[in-house]
């Protein structure tokens, strides 16, 4: 799929911008702090309905209008897809006002109001940023988010299970605390265990499945990018309290059964801790380079190549699951790569319908400039197309 029209108003440092994007490679050049990352964040938000970096919706609304009667940022795009064309609109209300605006996001898909969870993944996208190295070097949370953002774009049931899991987890944890304080009985856990393990089974099944594709793709990409010098191994580590962690069962009922066994095993430890100690909220994916844990042994450059390989694997996963290409967003990542790795990335995406690249250093990515079909300059929240180099 590819975006051919993008409209932005009052989003971050943008006032009003309308753009026609090209099929193929689009390059956005601009000095620091001009709005390049904001632009890609906006596109990724249209895809996932979540910001890749903001902590609150208010951050997304242009500061100058946040305290007016109409504190609303708007994003809209038109997308050509093999599953039928798409028109997508998101309004982000930054602040509740007397003009009867409730804060939060409103979404329309082809003109029809939808819940955010129904609109996720209508536009599929994969975002590369310079922070991606943290997927390899950082805490498990970031690897879970890597999986969640990817799978929820292609599997609505996954997103629903995630939401239910989060609700049940919260209730179960507060029950555990009440049992610990002798305000409730352990017998009440039975119902919540079932609920949690049921939603958990769906999540672990989907994660295990996704890993099946990611492991092979990630290894292949790492080999390609490093000229066969380095190997990447990813392994799904479901948090089941030490039970059956090595092999992946094939269906979700088996995952649910394993989770129920794990919960039963840990009952007293959980009551003591006042918290749920097993389940997908504690899952991890271990990443190894040449057989050693990548977070503690690999060099920064190796970690960066591994993270890049994981993102390439994500793009390939989305393409396979959708039967259509996700839009590829590369925020400032090409200029930090050597020429060989950059070529490896560009070659991989040549067969994708649309790639959108930003850079502050166009001289370092001459190869991208030459191949780009659309070239734009970003300056102080304004975007203009330019021809030539």
Token reading at 194: 């079932």
Selection from ligand ATP, Mg ion, none that 33 binds (CB < 5 to 8 A by kind) is ligand ATP
Of 17, 29, 37, 86, the one binding ligand ATP by CB under 6 A: 37
Nearer to ligand ATP, 22 or 41 (CB): 41
Residue 30 binds ligand ATP (CB under 6 A):
yes
* Whole-number Cα distances in Å, 389 to 30, 34, 91, 254, 366: 14, 20, 35, 58, 9
Please list, in sequence order, all residues whose beta carbon lies within 8 angstroms of the beta carbon of residue 268, skipping any fewer than 6 positions away: none
Distance CA 144, CA 127 (A): 16
Residues 313-352 interacting with Mg ion (rule: CB under 5 A): none
Residue 354 binds Mg ion (CB under 5 A):
no
Token reading at 337: 């790569």
Residues 322-361 interacting with ligand ATP (rule: CB under 6 A): 332, 360
Stretch that binds ligand ATP, among 56-64, 251-259, 298-306, 314-322 (CB under 6 A): 56-64
Q: Which secondary structure element, helix H or strand E, spans residue 157, and what is its range?
A: helix 156-180
Of 2, 6, 17, 36, the one binding ligand ATP by CB under 6 A: 36
Distance CA 157, CA 132 (A): 27
The burial of 55, by beta-carbon neighbours within 10 Å (0-12 exposed, 13-18 middle, 19 or more buried), is given as: exposed
Distance CA 104, CA 115 (A): 11
- In the three-class reduction of DSSP (H, G, I as helix; E, B as strand; rest coil), residue 260 is classed as helix
Residue 71 binds ligand ATP (CB under 6 A):
no
Nearer to Mg ion, 36 or 105 (CB): 36
Stretch that binds ligand ATP, among 25-33, 110-118, 341-349, 362-370 (CB under 6 A): 25-33
Selection from ligand ATP, Mg ion, none that 30 binds (CB < 5 to 8 A by kind) is ligand ATP
**Nearest-10 Cα torsion for 335, 339, 341, 347:** 100
Residue 82 neighbours by CB distance under 10 Å:
11
Selection from Mg ion, ligand ATP, none that 35 binds (CB < 5 to 8 A by kind) is ligand ATP
In sequence order, the β-bridge partners of residue 24 are: 354
Of 21, 47, 62, 372, the one binding ligand ATP by CB under 6 A: 62
Length in residues, the chain = 389
Distance CA 109, CA 102 (A): 20
Of 10, 26, 37, 122, the one binding Mg ion by CB under 5 A: 37
Of 16, 20, 33, 99, the one binding ligand ATP by CB under 6 A: 33
Nearer to ligand ATP, 9 or 13 (CB): 13
- Which residues are at the interface with ligand ATP (CB under 6 A)? 12-13, 30, 32-38, 59, 61-63, 332, 360
- Which residues are at the interface with Mg ion (CB under 5 A)? 36-37
């Amino acid at each position: 799929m590819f975006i051919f029209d993008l409209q932005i108003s009052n989003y971050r440092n943008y006032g009003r911008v309308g753009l026609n994007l090209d099929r193929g490679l689009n390059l956005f050049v601009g000095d620091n702090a001009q709005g390049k990352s904001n632009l890609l964040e906006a596109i990724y938000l249209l895809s996932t309905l979540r910001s890749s970096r903001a902590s609150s919706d208010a951050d997304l609304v242009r500061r100058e209008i946040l305290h007016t009667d109409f504190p609303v940022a708007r994003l809209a795009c038109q997308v050509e897809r093999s599953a039928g064309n798409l028109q997508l609109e998101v309004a982000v209300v930054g602040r509740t006002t007397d003009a009867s605006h409730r804060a939060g996001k409103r979404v329309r898909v082809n003109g029809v109001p939808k819940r955010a969870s129904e609109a996720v993944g209508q536009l599929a996208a994969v975002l590369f940023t310079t922070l991606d190295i943290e997927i390899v070097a950082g805490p498990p949370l970031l690897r879970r988010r890597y999986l969640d953002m990817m799978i929820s774009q292609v599997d609505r049931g996954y997103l629903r299970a995630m939401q239910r899991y989060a609700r049940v987890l919260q209730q179960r944890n507060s029950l555990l605390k009440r049992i610990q304080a002798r305000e409730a009985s352990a017998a009440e856990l039975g119902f919540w265990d079932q609920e949690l393990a049921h939603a958990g089974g769906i999540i672990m099944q989907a994660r295990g499945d996704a890993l099946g594709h990611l492991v092979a793709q990630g290894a292949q990409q790492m080999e390609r990018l490093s000229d066969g010098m380095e190997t990447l191994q990813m392994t799904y580590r479901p948090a089941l309290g030490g039970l059956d962690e090595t092999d992946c069962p094939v269906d979700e009922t088996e995952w649910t059964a394993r989770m129920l066994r794990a919960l039963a095993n840990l009952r007293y430890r959980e009551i003591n801790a006042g918290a749920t100690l097993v389940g997908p909220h504690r899952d991890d994916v271990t990443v190894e380079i040449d057989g050693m844990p990548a977070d503690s042994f690999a060099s920064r450059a190796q970690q960066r190549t591994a993270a890049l390989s994981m993102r390439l694997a994500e793009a390939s996963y989305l393409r396979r699951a959708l039967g259509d290409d996700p839009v590829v967003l590369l925020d400032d990542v090409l200029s930090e790569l050597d020429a060989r790795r950059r070529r490896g990335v560009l070659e991989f995406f040549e067969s994708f319908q649309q790639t959108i690249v930003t850079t502050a250093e166009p001289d370092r990515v001459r190869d991208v400039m030459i191949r780009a079909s659309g070239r734009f300059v970003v300056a102080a929240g304004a975007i203009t197309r330019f021809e030539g180099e």
